[in-house]
Amino acid sequence: MRYGSIPGVDKPVSRLVMGSMVFGMEPERLENTCALLDRFVEAGGTTVDTARIYAKGTSERAFGEWLKKSGRRDQIVVIGKGAHHDLQTFERRVTPEAIHEDIQTSLREMQLDRIDIYILHKDDLDAPVGPIVEALNEEVAAGRIGVFGGSSWTHQRISAANQYAEAKCLQPFSVSSPNLALAVPNEPMWVGCVSIAGDPEAQAWYARTRMPIFAWSSQARGFFSGRYSPDLTEGATPDAQNVIRTYYSEANWERYARAGTLAKEKGCTLPQIALAWVLHQPLEVYALIGPATVKELDDCLGALAVELTPDEIAWLNLQGERVRIPVVR
């Protein structure tokens, strides 16, 4: 495993972060949850990404059960997310009231006293940053959260929030969680999503500020899994339909082909190339992964051993030509 450090977090943060969308309390799902988490920590993983909305809250509960039974709380960096809009009415909830409510609910569901990193799951561009920063600082002062940040917040909004924090001598946003993957989206996958893939201005800001990035959908939500092909244009599930709408483009299929070529040459899988690309970005990146099985998790872990040269990264980006290094036998 590879690790980074984040000011305000007292444990090493693994560069691969276990996502929890497949966690749940039904017997089979709970068994799979525990198997995934056991394998993840066995491989050196320390960081788990949770969210209030996953599996209607049962994902948090399942993670809390594993955490209590495993006795590993002191080793795990817990990421919590909340203030997501209402999934039925789409009512926006980036408000002090929702922030306080979701944090207290998440703590209860996960059987925790404190969440190490708290991330607002969405933004509301109509909401002024001041009350949001104030509410998050109230939670820090109460000891319920450590550092905090935003998911799918633009770098301009984060800058505005941090300017407010500086003016008021408050704790600023310390982390961000946009989408970043080798595939560049045609449009947001869901309402309010922000991606920095293919956005040189945003990437330059992150390179300059060195703000830690927790990249969601780091493998483009399965686009590189082998389940998709250019001739498959109708998804059997809503998730597949979203992938087709978001990622099908001539440029992305060329990235896919080049990743496949490198995978054959390096003796690894195509998804490992795509994940390694994220880990090789010149940014403070932590890649969120969402394996559904231990086998898929092991494939993700294998990406840690894949090395990419700057020329190979540029080639995957559809920039320049590869400089082939002769293999010494």
What pLDDT was estimated at residue 143?
Answer: 98
- Decide if pLDDT at 322 tops 90: no
Within-domain flag for 233:
no
Residue 274 has pLDDT above 50, yes or no: yes
Please tell me the total count of domains within the chain.
1
Q: What does the mean pLDDT of the chain come to? A: 96
Residue pair 195/180 in contact (Cβ under 8 Å)? The answer is: yes
List pLDDT tens digits, range 88-145.
888 899 999 999 999 999 999 999 999 999 999 999 999 999 999 999 999 999 999 9
Q: Domain residues for 65?
A: 3-177
Residue 16 resides in a domain: yes
Would you say 244 and 235 are in contact if contact means Cβ atoms under 8 Å apart? yes
Rounded distance between C-alpha atoms, residue 185 and residue 122, angstroms: 18
CATH number for 92: 3.20.20.100
Phi, psi (degrees; rounded to nearest 5) at 279: -70, -20
Q: What is the mean pLDDT of residues 2-7?
A: 98
Residue 286 lies in a domain: no
CA proximity to 13, closest of 40, 44, 47: 47
pLDDT at 18: 98
In the 8-state DSSP scheme, what is residue 328?
A: P
Does the residue 259 lie in any domain?
no
The answer to whether residue 329 is domain-embedded is: no
Model pLDDT, residue 88:
84
